[in-house]
Amino acid sequence: MSETRSSPVSWVLVVVAWGAVGLPLAWGIYKTLQTAVKIFR
């Protein structure tokens, strides 16, 4: 059995779903980077 092509609406959902997990993760990485850069100062 094969995949039938995904609809454009499903790609919008993909962007929303990835944004919902990606934005908090990006904030967490930013906060970690703020601490990590101290090693390069």
Partner 1 sequence: MPGLLSRERIIAQPGFNRWLVPPAALAIHLSIGMAYGFSVFWLPLSKAIGITQSVPCPAEMGFLARLFATSCDWKISTLGWMYTLFFVFLGSSAALFGRWVERVGPRRAGVVAAFCWGGGFVISALGVHLHQIWMLWVGSGVIGGCGLGLGYISPVSTLIKWFPDRRGMATGMAIMGFGGGAMIGSPLANLLMNHFKTPTSVGVTQTFVTMGLIYFVSMLCGAFGYRMPAPDWKPEGWTPPAGSNAMITRRHAHVSRAWRTPQFWLLWTVLCMNVSAGIGVIGMASPMLQEVFGGKVIGLVGALQDLTEDQRTQVATIGAGFAALLSLFNITGRIVWASLSDYWGRKRTYVVFFALGIVLYSLAPTAGRLGSVPLFVSIFCIILTMYGGGFATIPAYLADMFGTQHVGAIHGRLLTAWSTAGILGPVLVNYIREYQIDRGVAPGSAYTTTMYILAGLLVIGFIANLSVKPVDDRFFMSDAQLAEERRLAHEGGARR
The residues of the shown chain that bind partner 1, judged by CB under 8 A, are: 1-7, 10-11, 13-14, 17-18, 20-22, 24-25, 27-29, 31-33, 35-39
Instruction: Report, in Å, the least distance between residue 30 CB and partner 1.
Output: 9
Rounded CA separation 8/27 (Å): 28
Rounded CA separation 12/18 (Å): 10
Instruction: Report, in Å, the least distance between residue 26 CB and partner 1.
Output: 10
Instruction: Report, in Å, the least distance between residue 15 CB and partner 1.
Output: 10
